[in-house]
Homo-oligomer: A and B are copies of this chain.
Amino acid sequence: MSNGKAYTIGIDIGGTNIEAGIVDQEGSIIKRVRTSMAQHETLKDLLKEVKALLEPFPENMIGVGIGAPDVNCYKGTIEHAVNLKWNGIVPLAEIAREVFQMQVRTMNDANAAALGEMYFGSGQHHNDFILLTLGTGVGSGVISNRRLVLGQQGMASKLGHVVVIPNGAYHPGSGLYGTLEAYCSSFGIVNRAKTLLEEYPNSVLQQHQSLTPALIAEAAANGDEVSIKTFKQTGEILGKAIANFVHFSAPEAVVLFGGITLAGDLLLEPTRKAMEENLLKVFHNKVQLKISSLNGADAAILGAASLFKYEL
């Protein structure tokens, strides 16, 4: 497999699954694997398994990039992650170096995803953009002049925990009220649909035992009124929050990622409308709102692999 090209391993550690791949410098994933968190007791076992699945490696390997929740990118540690089974401070980079015997770089998963967008996705042509990942939680990465906004100890861009409705819905994970995550995470969206369903006994959504944003998006595409309203109301809140973010960092684009974006224009249109209504005139029609051009597993792997394109 020697052809003069250089390769990076990208690994994304999530609460449920681990996605990994071998990536060339143009962002092509030449091999991709997945394993589940449940199968591994320790981080070391998990990384050994990933290594075994990915082998054999091409000749010219640059290193291993890893995205994970609650990473301190300066120390290479996972610190007090709420959605992982390891408590306290986990020496992620150190363990990975031992397993792979390569250079290792680590980053908060949403920040890694933003770098993935910058080098290989919807952020390629932007100096300033914000990535919002709308999933189990609402994650974010902020790029200012082609640099990540990292803040003290790399803790910046926790935009899911920005309050959008003071004294609004309680979010158990954070202990805060009325945050973006309380409304625009999968949980928030499903909750909104459930509330609306109480008034719509004939909605197709009534047929499902448990709802997901993907199911609601499908029903919306087929004209289900509850589902359409769910995305409309979600977009109204999301758009207001994005307007505030625009006033902070003046991005050229806001890139949305995650299952909720399957709703397409049914989400984008109300979001864009609410964003524009809450922006200063100087920003009107100056901020692109778009859905990530990368697909789910690719984005996570490319984000992690792209850590070797970015100098802290």
Contacts and interface: CB of A to CB of B under 8 A. Distances in A.
A250 interface: yes
Contacts of A128: 150-152, 156
A145 B150 contact: yes
A282 interface: yes
Interface in A119-172: 127-128, 142, 144-145, 147, 149-159, 161-166
A280 B145 contact: no
Given A80-B282, A176-B280, A280-B174, A248 B142 contact: yes
Interface residues of A, number: 43
Nearest to A281: B175
A235 interface: no
B151 A250 contact: yes
Interface in A53-103: 80
Contact of A159 (B165, B240, B243, B247): B247
Chain B CB within 10 A, most for which of A151, A157, A251 = A151
Contacts of A157: 247-250
A283 interface: yes
A191 interface: no
A188 to B, nearest CB: 16
Interface string A230-272: 0000000000100111011111100000000000000000000
A286 interface: yes
Contact of A152 (B147, B155, B245, B252): B252
Nearest to A179: B247
Nearest to A126: B152
A150 B144 contact: yes
Given A159-B247, A161-B280, 7 more contacts: A128-B150, A144-B147, A149-B248, A152-B286, A158-B280, A163-B244, A174-B280
